[in-house]
């Protein structure tokens, strides 16, 4: 998942740069003022729109795209079934020491509750509460990037208006027109790139990852409760198959 994000952003920039290099001088598309208006303006608007905690959720959600290991539903299901078999032989208390139990934090958290003889309904309540909290934080993070992606083109247009006003005020100075016109058009380009190639794709990536991880946490929760009940591994496998991609 994180590889596709990096590949998409890099390939997007590569296509744009190839077009620029083959057609024009790249320096025509570099403008510090345009960059400042687009990026600085977008950041300022986000500070107005969201609280610091919301922005922190956005940053954390973005970091988690790269930091969290991606497991498929099939991998998690197989891990749970394997642990269930071990639990029948060794007891639930002993399986939390297995590496396969520790590698998935949400699974390990649930198995610790089982090992502590926590009531099944209480386990379900705790895990659902944690799932909802994580989902809510990621929803906020997704929204931060989505709103930023919606705002960036507006500041691109603002830069265009500023550039056009400057150009009209210097209409009698032909030498000043190119720089003002450059600011006008390049700012719009920066706003579109920032929105279409970076911010909104990141927002979409957070949303997809959040939906997928929520489903996987529900899979893990059902598996943990089945292990606690001492359920037959074949029956457990059939139940967990409904969570497969």
pLDDT, block means (10 residues), the chain with 245 residues: 73 75 70 89 96 96 88 90 88 81 88 90 94 96 97 91 78 65 81 93 95 93 91 88 79
- For residue 25, the model assigns a pLDDT of 66
Q: Is residue 23 part of a domain?
A: no
Number of domains within the chain: 1
What pTM was estimated for this model as a whole? 0.85
- For residue 184, the model assigns a pLDDT of 74
- For residue 174, the model assigns a pLDDT of 66
178-195 per-residue burial string, b: 16 or more CB within 10 A, e: under 16: eebebbbbbbbbbbebbb
Q: Is residue 21 part of a domain?
A: no
Q: Is residue 25 part of a domain?
A: no
- For residue 146, the model assigns a pLDDT of 97
**What is the extent of the structural domain holding 72?**
32-243
Q: Is residue 77 part of a domain?
A: yes
Are 178 and 209 within 8 A, CB to CB? no
- For residue 68, the model assigns a pLDDT of 80
Q: Is residue 17 part of a domain?
A: no
- CA 114 vs CA 93, 171, 219, 235: distances in Å: 8, 77, 16, 20
Q: Is residue 11 part of a domain?
A: no
- For residue 186, the model assigns a pLDDT of 86
111-124 per-residue burial string, b: 16 or more CB within 10 A, e: under 16: bebbbeebeeeebb
Q: Is residue 163 part of a domain?
A: yes
Q: Is residue 8 part of a domain?
A: no
Radius of gyration of the chain (CA): 25
């Amino acid at each position: 998942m994180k590889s596709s994000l990096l590949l998409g952003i890099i390939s997007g920039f590569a296509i744009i740069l190839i077009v620029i290099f083959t057609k024009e001088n790249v320096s025509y598309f570099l403008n510090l003022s345009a960059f400042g208006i687009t990026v600085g303006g977008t950041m300022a608007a986000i500070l107005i729109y969201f609280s610091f905690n919301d922005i922190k959720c956005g940053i954390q959600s973005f970091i988690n795209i790269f930091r969290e290991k991606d497991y498929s539903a099939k991998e998690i299901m197989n891990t749970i079934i394997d642990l269930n078999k071990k639990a029948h032989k060794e007891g639930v208390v002993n399986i939390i020491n297995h590496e396969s139990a520790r590698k998935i934090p949400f699974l390990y958290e649930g198995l610790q509750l089982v090992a502590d003889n926590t009531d099944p309904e209480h386990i379900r309540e705790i895990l659902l509460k944690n799932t909802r909290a994580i989902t809510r934080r990621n929803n906020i993070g997704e929204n931060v990037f989505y709103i930023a992606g919606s705002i960036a083109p507006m500041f691109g247009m603002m830069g265009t208006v500023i550039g056009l006003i400057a150009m009209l005020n210097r209409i009698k100075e032909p030498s000043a027109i190119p720089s003002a016109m450059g600011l006008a058009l390049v700012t719009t380009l920066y706003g579109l790139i920032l929105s279409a190639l970076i911010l909104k794709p990141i927002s979409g990536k957070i949303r997809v990852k959040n939906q997928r991880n929520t489903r996987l946490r529900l899979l893990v929760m059902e598996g943990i409760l089945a292990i606690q009940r001492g359920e037959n591994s074949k029956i457990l496998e059939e139940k967990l198959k409904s969570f497969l991609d």
